[in-house]
Amino acid sequence: MPDQTASPGPARSARRVVLTGASGRIGRTVAEHLAGRWDLTPTDRQATADVDELDVSDLDACRAAFAGADAVVHLAADPSPDATFDDLLSPNLVGPYAVARAAAEAGVRRLVLASSLHAVSGMPPQVQRRTGDRPRPANLYGASKAWSEAIGAMTGATTATSVVALRIGYFHLDRPAHDGDPLERTAWLSGRDAAELVRAAVEAELPATALGFVVANGVSANTHLAADLEETRATLGYAPVDDAWAVDA
């Protein structure tokens, strides 16, 4: 199995990055891998010894949390594909709006939004997802992620804050799950590749043609890919290293 341990990175930079959803599965992984790279402020709904409290649906709280930040990585959300509208309203609909507005008002250079391949889950399963695909969700969770992308596009078009929306695949830390869904291999995103994806999204210089907003696919370098990585590699400099077929060998 490939080693999932973070490799030594460059010296800590002065870049201040606020991370929402830091107590979630992806948030914990990103914080562990990148805390030594940036001046990272992890936040979540409930404070812990290492995580600040932040309700992402509270606009004023977001304004206070983002003051002086160079980048905001917004991972906080209800992650359930079976979530109801009431479940999603505050974290997945109000949250992205409040986060994007507060980030723009604070003069944040880069906002990274966690979207999902569920935003295009209504496409035929045999069709490889590309970053230019328009949202076509098959559930309310996917629709909430399409909303998040729309908020990101509006923010990038109307403010000085540039936005990267990450259509994240099936996240499992060190190997794909095995419950019969073939997408769990073709759309697998490993822990260290999730951290690399976020690093690239924060640090990349977007081309002028992006007009302040890009969508990127978030999967590992799997032998067979549910989502194309060519544009994500080219635009962000994303360099995934894990392959679902290799770890399952």
Q: Give the Cα separation of 129 and 216 in Å (integer).
A: 11
Among 162, 169, 168, 194, residue whose Cα is nearest residue 34: 194
* In contact, 156 and 213? CB cutoff 8 Å: yes
Tell me what pLDDT residue 190 has: 95
H or E stretch including 124?
A: none
* In contact, 135 and 119? CB cutoff 8 Å: yes
Q: Please give the model's pTM, rounded to 2 decimal places.
A: 0.93
Q: Which domains does the chain have, with CATH numbers?
A: 16-247 (3.40.50.720)
Per residue of the chain (249 residues), give pLDDT as tens: 444 444 444 455 669 999 999 999 999 999 999 999 999 999 999 999 999 999 999 999 999 999 999 999 999 999 999 999 999 999 999 999 999 999 999 999 999 999 999 999 999 988 999 999 999 999 999 999 999 999 999 999 999 999 999 999 999 877 776 666 777 899 999 999 999 999 999 999 999 989 999 999 999 999 999 999 999 999 999 999 999 999 876
Q: Which residues are catalytic?
A: 141
What DSSP state is assigned to residue 177?
-
Q: Give the Cα separation of 233 and 249 in Å (integer).
A: 25
